[in-house]
Amino acid sequence: MPTSLLYVVTVAIWGTSWFAMRFQLGSVPELQSIAYRFLLASAILILWCLATRRRLRFGWRDHLFCAIQGTTLFWFNYFLFYLAASRIPSGLMAVCFSTIVMMNIAGGAIFFGTRAERRVWIGALLGMAGLGLVFLPEIVGIEFSRAHLEGLILSLVATFSASLGNMVSVRHKRASMPVVESNALGMGYGALLGLVAAGLFSSPYRFDWQPTFLLSLAYLAFFASVIGFGSYLTLVQRIGADRAAYASVLFPLLALLLSTLFEGYRWTLLAGLGILLVLAGNLLVLLRPKPVPAPVTVAPPTET
């Protein structure tokens, strides 16, 4: 699949997954819902691997890194964001999560010795500033208290956890471990850990057999997890964790566009300016400059 299409698929799916998540709230504890989602996603991927005869046998080191990715990317960051959601507005959470671009740049330099181009840094700053303008009324309207500070810290730690999962994906590429297989194992490990945590923090286990819950669970497992994470982590391995993470700046805007259609969200001048900044940063991050052709030198004629 072309890189541009992978990027569009990632933003489109994650920008609309919030709508499905609304049907997961209330009847089943959030921690259990997360575990069910990734358990189903892992089962889908494992069955696909078996049907297509993909190799699922890997060494203990590969399984260890899959477990780390499952913990950081498919469970712990979700757990912390759910805790943060009861303390701070969703807009501030979105701005916090956009810092994953910076974290991925720093992680690439620390773990792999890679350096991001200057335009990626500038684009990331523009995106974060634009997202801040979009959610400025929501952020300014809160009075910071201990609960808000806790929510802010939880969101940043959750973002750092997700960034570590991105770094593991880069490691998988260097170890020649495909995305589908690594996601199948990683989501499985994350789901099992999530089930244990759900039993500790939100027991007893519950499940909702209503069609709305089942359909939203299926959407989150197949589209948001199997396809969404598959597309995103393929981008991480193809264009780098720093540039791929810019999708985290765009999908909150898509969610707001849908909120405009279905929930009556009203745009402001600041929000419009914020979108322009985000789009400008997106162009800087994703569009590669055209290479400058080397000058053509003509050899002097040789004497005969």
pLDDT bucket at 67, cuts 50 / 70 / 90: very high
pLDDT bucket at 292, cuts 50 / 70 / 90: very low
Whether 137 has a pLDDT exceeding 80, the answer reads no
pLDDT in the model for residue 180: 95
Distance CA 163, CA 279 (A): 22
- In 3D space, the residue among 71, 4, 28 whose CA is nearest the CA of residue 288 turns out to be 4
Using an 8 Å Cβ cutoff, are 104 and 245 in contact?
Answer: yes
pLDDT bucket at 302, cuts 50 / 70 / 90: low
Distance CA 85, CA 93 (A): 8
CB atoms within 10 A of CB 22: 10
Identity of residue 34 = I
pLDDT in the model for residue 270: 79
pLDDT in the model for residue 294: 47
Whether 188 has a pLDDT exceeding 80, the answer reads yes
Cα 297–chain centre separation: 48
pLDDT in the model for residue 303: 52
pLDDT in the model for residue 240: 87
Distance CA 184, CA 48 (A): 9
pLDDT in the model for residue 82: 82
Name the CA dihedral angle for 167, 171, 176, 179, rounded to a multiple of 10 degrees: -20
Would you say the pTM of this structure is higher than 0.85?
no
Q: Of residues 242 and 43, which shows the higher confidence score?
A: 43
pLDDT in the model for residue 223: 94
pLDDT (tens digit per residue) in 212-241: 999 999 999 999 999 999 999 999 999 888
Up-side HSE of residue 240: CA atoms within 13 Å toward CB? 21
Using an 8 Å Cβ cutoff, are 133 and 270 in contact?
Answer: yes
* Domain ranges (residues) in the chain: 30-286
The per-residue b/e assignment along 135-168, b for 16 or more CB within 10 angstroms, e otherwise, is bbeebeeeeeeeebeebbebbbbbbbbbbbbbbb
Residue range 157-164: mean pLDDT, rounded: 94
Q: Of residues 24 and 154, which shows the higher confidence score?
A: 154
pLDDT in the model for residue 138: 67
Residue range 90-117: mean pLDDT, rounded: 82
pLDDT in the model for residue 304: 45
The mean of the pLDDT values for the chain is 83
Distance CA 192, CA 195 (A): 5
Q: Of residues 281 and 58, which shows the higher confidence score?
A: 58
Distance CA 137, CA 63 (A): 45
User: Residue 126: which residues within 8 A CB-CB, separation 6 or more?
Assistant: 277, 278, 280, 281, 284
Residue range 72-87: mean pLDDT, rounded: 87
Whether 198 has a pLDDT exceeding 50, the answer reads yes
Using an 8 Å Cβ cutoff, are 250 and 9 in contact?
Answer: no
User: Residue 86: which residues within 8 A CB-CB, separation 6 or more?
Assistant: 151
Give the least confident one: 56-70, 80-94, 98-112. Answer: 80-94
pLDDT (tens digit per residue) in 170-186: 999 999 999 999 999 99
pLDDT in the model for residue 272: 81
Using an 8 Å Cβ cutoff, are 162 and 226 in contact?
Answer: no
pLDDT bucket at 86, cuts 50 / 70 / 90: confident
